[in-house]
Amino acid sequence: MCVLLSCNLFSSILPTGEICVIPRGIVFRVEVEEQVRGYMLESFQGHFCLPDLGPIGSNGLANARDFEYPTASFEEMQGDVKMYNKFCGKLYKKHIRRSPFDVVAWHGNYLPFKYNLKNFCTMNTVSYDHPDPSIFTVLSCPSEIVGESAVDFVIFPTRWMVAEHTFRPPYFHRNYMSEFMGMVAGKYDAKVGFSAGGASLHCCMSAHGPDKETTERAEGFSRALSWRCFLDFSFDDLILHFAAAELGPAKFEDGLAFMFETSAILKPTPQAMACSFRDMQYKECWKGFARRSLHR
């Protein structure tokens, strides 16, 4: 499946697995030949940029060389055209007698760009422990607070998992950021039944993690495993004892999931809350967990 994306600077085909970033003020049109599903994020502050790689160095994650910028194209057409504009949370419509895509050239670098997620250079641990999902950040939109993102775009692509003495699926947690998850294709490695086109929302400080089936499969039953859980609080360290399968290198290539992670509080619309396909039993995926023993 793909869509044809046109704007007042260029036209481009956007197939499954690619993203496009459209700056504010750019007029655009989306054309489809068949039914498609997709995800859209609108940021109200800042601009998307590559994340700071820090000690990773100059290369890795989303490399600048893999982003595609358009060449100029234009459209000559006379006739009734409806344009929709969003302002202060409301949509407005106006009629014009020509195509808005009649710009034949431009000067500057304020323009849309696209990126194929297959080009993402994944980083992961080669020793132990589960890295924070920020290691999979494609683009980040900084906020006015240093060190805090307005929103990060994170993906969970094909990757090798080789960590030893580690619970490999995303661990149970709650955090400052709100997390909107989506599934582009395939299946998610931490949630059974999370299908392409689906979405989940875990708001700020809402505890969540992998479902019972994924957790038990990751733990296994072949040998005992213990590790130290480091907390951000001045509590004594906890040693958690689990039964775990023998861990060898494993390649995950069954799906492509993504996450919009934001410091904003996301409020679902009435349409989302009332939709007929909303999963009303979502929380049941964490039902039936056996209590683990904790030792000081």
Tens digit of pLDDT at every position of the chain (296 positions):
677 777 766 678 888 899 999 998 888 988 888 888 899 999 988 899 999 999 999 999 999 999 998 877 888 889 999 999 999 889 999 999 999 888 887 788 888 999 999 999 999 999 998 888 899 999 999 999 888 899 999 999 999 999 888 888 888 888 889 999 999 999 887 888 888 889 999 999 999 989 888 888 887 732 334 433 333 333 333 333 333 446 789 898 889 999 999 999 999 999 999 999 899 988 888 888 887 766 55
Nearest to 202 by CA among 260, 257, 255, 162: 260
Nearest to 39 by CA among 17, 63, 7, 70: 17
Q: Is 135 helix (H, G, I), strand (E, B) or coil?
A: helix
- Active-site residue, 130 included: yes
Q: How many helices (H) and strands (E) does the chain have?
A: 2, 17
Nearest to 71 by CA among 27, 17, 12: 12
From 47, 95, 107, 130, active-site residue: 130
Q: Is 244 helix (H, G, I), strand (E, B) or coil?
A: strand
In eight-state DSSP terms, residue 16 is: T
Sheet (strand 294-295) strand order: 223-229, 238-244, 294-295
Burial category of 188 from C-beta neighbours within 10 Å (exposed 0-12, middle 13-18, buried 19 and up): buried
Rounded to two decimals, the pTM is 0.85
Whole-number Å distance between alpha carbons of 135 and 173: 16
Whole-number Å distance between alpha carbons of 205 and 173: 9
Q: Which run of H or E residues covers position 217?
A: helix 212-219
pLDDT of residue 295: 57
pLDDT of residue 37: 85
Under 8 Å between Cβ of 165 and 239: no
Whole-number Å distance between alpha carbons of 115 and 14: 9
pLDDT of residue 1: 60
**CA-atom Rg of the chain in angstroms:** 22
**Number of alpha carbons in the 13 Å side-chain half-sphere of residue 180:** 16
pLDDT of residue 188: 86
